[in-house]
Amino acid sequence: MIPVIMSGGSGSRLWPQSRSLYPKQFLPLVNEDTMLQNTISRMDGLGSVSAPLVIANEEHRFLVAEQIRQIGRQASAIILEPVGKNTAPALALAALKAQSLSEEKDPLLLVLAADHVIQNVQAFHQAIEAALPAARDGKLVTFGIVPTYAETGYGYIKALNHKGTKAQSFSSDKQKETFVPSCLCGEKIMPVEQFVEKPDLETAQGYLASGDYYWNSGMFLFKASRYLEELNKFRPDILQACEKAMAVESADLDFVRLDEAAFHACPDESIDYAVMEKTTDSVVVPLDAGWSDVGSWTSLADICEKDESGNAFQGDVLLHDTRNTYVRSEKKLIATVGVDDLIITDSDDAILVAHKDRVQDVKKIVERLKVANRSEAKLHRKVYRPWGAYDSIDMGDRFQVKRITVKPGAQLSLQMHHHRAEHWIVVKGTALVTNGDQEILLTENQSTYIPIGVVHRLENPGKFDLELIEVQSGGYLGEDDIVRFEDTYGRT
């Protein structure tokens, strides 16, 4: 079984923590690990599971590789989408690649999102194990979340009701009796009658009362061949475009690159619309394991531990006469007095204050930032690169100050700038600097000046992180004023 982890989302409703170039799946929102790392670690103890196959945005490639490396794992492949085309094409790419990776030639694919929370891993494993016989038998299994309230923000799956008997669902705390109709593949698996769109409140209440509906989790288990067969039956245009894109795939470090033109021509479609709503071989396994898609700040607050006043908080926070409020501090003290039902969170360069009832509108702020072409929509002040990271600590007219961290053995590209000069001061570690025709070794408190137009490179030859302060000066200080001549990481 190969876990296929979809890691292409943007998570705009979790701004300012989540940004388009650093979205929520790469953030440590619920514990010290990121959501991507938690998704991979969640496979531990599941049995015969291969290294994960990750589908990611081209712009996130180094984040994915680095976060997998940080937890001591390795991906079987990281497929880079040059443009997002939704889940049906993404999973076609994964199925085609998985067939070439597996000795079985037709592996089972466990499809997971990189940004979900599952609090009871044992119950999650039990649901997967229960689904295995159906998947091996050619069924397309989806995991339906046992609903706990009338949610209007999720799609639903209606199980085919044969008016069967009571059965045990997989519960996050204790076994919970749920009505489960008799089915094709065992008492915990039911044929899917219908996928339905996000309902209004009255309809959702009816779904909850009927006992026949489950939240659509977007998680699946099926043979690679069966998904491709059904996709070819219902959307051959998607399959053909993906086959063309994969026909000329190229390996680049840990990454698999596609034929960009072929993939751009692929239709944009979800797996639900393309296959699951049309196939006669879909079944659903009920899952009650403390699942959340963390789609908003309130959904994150819901799964956090709370004090006696219903508040959840993280970081340096002081609360007085405050109720039902979520506060997250990353850098500075946040104090609240006499407030109720708020979301308050800060980052290096932005603060969000929102009423809990209005958190879905956070994306409207992001849209306005994009229209204004403001960096806060895309980047944090601290930006991660394959060689390390930089933090823009000050900026003014014709100057910018950055704190740069370079990992041991890593190096920046050999480059030059048309519009800015740079002054590098080492504050920790050892730097090997190419400065024009010179190669200089610098240690703490030593520096070098790089004039405009001079070719240069920074490298860390040591065994510990290199930290330095960079002072840029010039008429234009944008990141696009970089001319690269050589690059270890394949960047142009």
- Residues 402-441 pLDDT 10s: 999 999 999 999 999 999 999 999 999 999 999 999 999 9
Other C-beta atoms within 10 Å of 373: how many? Answer: 8
Percentage of the chain beyond pLDDT 70 is: 93
Write down the mean pLDDT value for the chain.
90
> Where exactly are the structural domains of the chain?
2-292, 297-365, 382-486
Q: What is the pLDDT of residue 319?
A: 97
Whether 449 shows a pLDDT value over 90: the answer reads yes
Average pLDDT estimate for 327-351: 95
Read off the pLDDT band of 492 (50, 70, 90).
Answer: low
Average pLDDT estimate for 373-397: 89
Q: What is the pLDDT of residue 253?
A: 67
Read off the pLDDT band of 165 (50, 70, 90).
Answer: very low
Average pLDDT estimate for 101-114: 88
| 276 secondary structure, DSSP code | I
CATH of domain 2-292: 3.90.550.10
181-202: pLDDT as tens digits: 333 334 578 999 999 999 989 9
Q: Report whether 188 contacts 130 (CB < 8 A).
A: yes
Higher pLDDT, 153 or 401: 401
> To 5 degrees, how large is the angle CA 275–CA 60–CA 77?
60
Whole-Å CA distances, 450 to 363, 419, 473, 479: 41, 12, 11, 17
Question: Helices (H), strands (E): how many in the chain?
Answer: 11, 32
Q: What is the pLDDT of residue 491?
A: 67
Q: What is the pLDDT of residue 168?
A: 38
Read off the pLDDT band of 160 (50, 70, 90).
Answer: confident
Q: What is the pLDDT of residue 59?
A: 87
pTM: 0.85
Read off the pLDDT band of 177 (50, 70, 90).
Answer: very low
Q: What is the pLDDT of residue 143?
A: 96
- Cα–Cα dist 356/341, whole Å: 6
Whether 176 shows a pLDDT value over 50: the answer reads no
Q: Report whether 61 contacts 79 (CB < 8 A).
A: no
Q: Report whether 376 contacts 19 (CB < 8 A).
A: yes
Following DSSP, what letter does each residue of 428-447 receive, concatenated? Answer: ES-EEEEETTEEEEE-TT-E
- Cα–Cα dist 123/405, whole Å: 41
Q: What is the pLDDT of residue 184?
A: 38
Whole-Å CA distances, 63 to 38, 220, 261: 15, 25, 25
Percentage of the chain beyond pLDDT 90 is: 74
Whether 98 shows a pLDDT value over 70: the answer reads yes
Average pLDDT estimate for 370-392: 89
Cβ-based burial of 90 (10 A; exposed 0-12, middle 13-18, buried ≥19): buried
Average pLDDT estimate for 4-8: 94
Q: What is the pLDDT of residue 381?
A: 85
242-292: pLDDT as tens digits: 999 998 877 766 789 999 999 999 999 999 999 999 999 999 999 999 999
Q: What is the pLDDT of residue 81?
A: 93
Least Cα distance to 90 among 263, 262, 247 occurs for 263
Q: Is the domain defined by 382-486 classed in CATH 2.60.120.10? A: yes
Average pLDDT estimate for 80-98: 94
Structure tokens at 389: 């990271």
Q: What is the pLDDT of residue 334?
A: 97
